[in-house]
Homo-oligomer: A and B are copies of this chain.
Amino acid sequence: MSNVLWTELVRRLTPYVPGEQRHGDNIVKLNTNENPYPPSKEVLKAIAEVDGDMLRRYPDPESRELRECLAEYHNLEMSQVFVGNGSDEILALAFMAFFTNGQPLQYPKLSYSFYPVYCDLLGIEKQVHELETDFSINMTLFEDNRGGIVFPNPNAPTSLAAPVDAIKELLARVPHTAVLVDEAYVSFGAQSVVDLVKQYPNLIVSQTFSKARSLAGIRLGAAFANPELIEALSRVKDSFNSYPVDAVAQRAGIASLRDETYHRQTVAKIIATREETVAELEQRGFRVLESSANFIFVSPANGNAAALFDELNRRDVLVRYWRSDELAAWLRITIGTDDEMKKLLAVIDEASLVV
């Protein structure tokens, strides 16, 4: 499809493609890194109590109460906290605010596949760094280029966490370059660097309520940085959409932050299920990278991930596969409930008779 009114920008875009959202009673959905458990009951209560006044009025455009809660949670000031419509929106705004200097943006070859999409949208040149052969990020490859650096920690889809010391060394070595650490999956085993925003004026950390807090449906993300970088993000936000976080999402986020016990329990359950699943897969000859996320990155013994993906899909077990040469041998599998992972293993055992 094309049109005389399409701009060059629209013509050149190749948008991000999220995992398939097939639903159904018998489908085991392990392809979009959703949390298998519901959010805290406090969140459901906060939403059920929404009244007409909260809906007819504009929400607080600055989300102050939510940002105060986040600041308290992380032992920061509200001026060091930003919130947005999912961490995807925060990444988009951060790319506009920090990575449009005319210098290339640096990121690892395997990482969140939305990064090159933002670059194409915003006309940002890309400088892609190879991973080590063990799939870890080589922090020494990043340069102080004034363009920008972004990587997920733990990385996606590899699931590997980076050591905090390596991140500290990087931050000290590139003082003229904004470094965005995308901590979407940090709660599941990696060490957060949120605290480092107090020491490193070039650090921005983004997080999300979608994964560990089971709020993918509500679209809520947060970012942390020194007040000057938060002010820059706010300026871009207020030039794009003043009220991206609605009144219900603000309430839901606050309620989630106030039920820390539930949050910890849920995360602990998922980590336990992950470790059991990893052991089972390794018994079956799979190679599994050491995961600090709510997903695992695995390669079957015969290396034929494509055939296994198709067989799983045919049997209503959805996992993520990228049809690219470098990832041909790998699948990304979200950690579900214990029952879901048992089904996965049963279907893998059945499928192994075929593939």
Q: Which A residues, 224 to 258, have Cβ-Cβ distances below 8 Å to chain B?
A: 227-229, 231-232, 234-249, 252
A18→B61 contact, CB < 8 A: yes
In the complex, what distance in Å separates the CA atom of A315 from the CA atom of B99? Answer: 46
Which of A165-173, A212-220, A347-355 is the interface stretch? Answer: A212-220
Return the CB mask of A36-66 against B: 1 if under 8 Å, else 0. 1111000110011011111111111100000
Nearest residue in B to A55 (C-beta to C-beta)? B217
A218→B232 contact, CB < 8 A: no
A55→B218 contact, CB < 8 A: yes
Size range of the chain A interface in the assembly:
35 or more
B247→A217 contact, CB < 8 A: yes
In the complex, what distance in Å separates the CA atom of A47 from the CA atom of B44? Answer: 10
A96→B9 contact, CB < 8 A: yes
Q: Does A143 contact B (CB under 8 A)?
A: no
Q: How far is the CB of A31 from chain B (nearest CB, A)?
A: 11
A34: which B residues are within 8 A, CB to CB?
56-58
B56→A36 contact, CB < 8 A: yes
A252→B44 contact, CB < 8 A: no
A15→B239 contact, CB < 8 A: yes
List 22 interface pairs A-B (beta carbons < 8 Å), by A numbering.
A1-B228, A1-B231, A6-B228, A7-B99, A15-B239, A15-B242, A18-B242, A34-B58, A38-B52, A44-B55, A47-B55, A55-B214, A56-B216, A57-B217, A59-B216, A85-B246, A88-B243, A92-B241, A96-B121, A118-B239, A121-B240, A218-B246
> Nearest 8 CB-CB pairs, A to B?
A38-B52, A15-B238, A217-B247, A3-B228, A56-B214, A121-B239, A219-B246, A55-B217
Q: Told that A3-B229, A21-B57, A34-B57 touch, could you supply 10 new A-B pairs with CB distance under 8 A?
A: A5-B201, A15-B235, A38-B53, A47-B48, A86-B241, A86-B243, A218-B246, A219-B243, A246-B248, A248-B248
